[in-house]
Amino acid sequence: MGWTTPIDIYCERTAAGLLNEPFDALSNIAFLLAAWWGYRTARRMGRLTFMNVVAILLAASIGIGSFLFHTFANAWSQLADVIPIWTFVSWMILSIVVAMSGGNVWRALFGAVKIFAVVGLVFWFVSGVLLDMPGAAAAGSSLNGSEQYAPALLALVIFALITRLQNHPSWPWLAVATGVFAVSLAFRTVDLAVCNAFPVGTHFVWHLLNGLMIGLLLQTLIRHLSAPSPG
């Protein structure tokens, strides 16, 4: 497949063309709003630290990359969509582990390695099971590709549980973000299944809820897991 080969994997898209997924494309404004909310909070609280600024920029890049994919809908724009998402996930995991380790670099690195190992094993297991299910190969995925986000959901569940057990002030934010992400995954999963009844599909709802989830994660990081910026 070439870099410009058209990709059609969502209900709303019915043909090639920049404007064939208007709801899926425009709903990416949710990520930009999440980044703006994070920036305003960090600036007001004096917490425009390196870790926070990178997280805010990555959140904005998710919206830009996803917008490109839902307009150009080809191989290169798919990479522009996927890379910011997983970079943000990795950065958030690292940021949370660093904050919860009290700034101890080696402890943070060890904790991050353990988290990545767990979610990696879960991804490998879940993907293998789902691909072995009857009809999965023909359909491309029994969950419409949503199984790829199982590691991210698991990481959120782990952090929500850890912070709850520690009675950390960030736990309500993480718990709500986890719930929102679980609901958004459901909307992503049923997108193709509801095409006949709802031609626009439900992928745009995945964007809107994910924007809210990322906004909540940024607020968690800035409000409860970071110190004021120096100077």
User: What are the domain boundaries of the chain?
Assistant: 22-224
pLDDT in tens, the chain (231 residues): 688 999 999 999 999 899 999 999 999 999 999 999 999 999 999 999 999 999 999 999 999 999 999 999 999 999 999 999 999 998 998 888 888 776 665 566 666 666 666 666 655 555 554 444 444 443 445 688 888 898 889 889 988 998 999 899 999 999 999 999 999 999 999 999 999 999 999 999 999 999 999 999 999 999 999 877 665
Q: What does pTM read for this prediction?
A: 0.88
Predicted pLDDT at 212: 98
Name residue, tokens 């790829």.
148
| Tokens read off for 96 | 């949370």
Contact 31, 62 (CB under 8 A): yes
Residue 215: CA atoms inside 13 Å, Cβ hemisphere, count? 19
Whether the Cβ atoms of residue 219 and residue 41 lie closer than 8 Å to each other: yes
Q: What is the pLDDT of residue 155?
A: 87
Angle at 107 between CA 106 and CA 111, to 5 degrees: 115
In the prediction, which pLDDT does 228 show?
A: 73
The helices-and-strands tally (H runs, E runs) of the chain is 9, 0
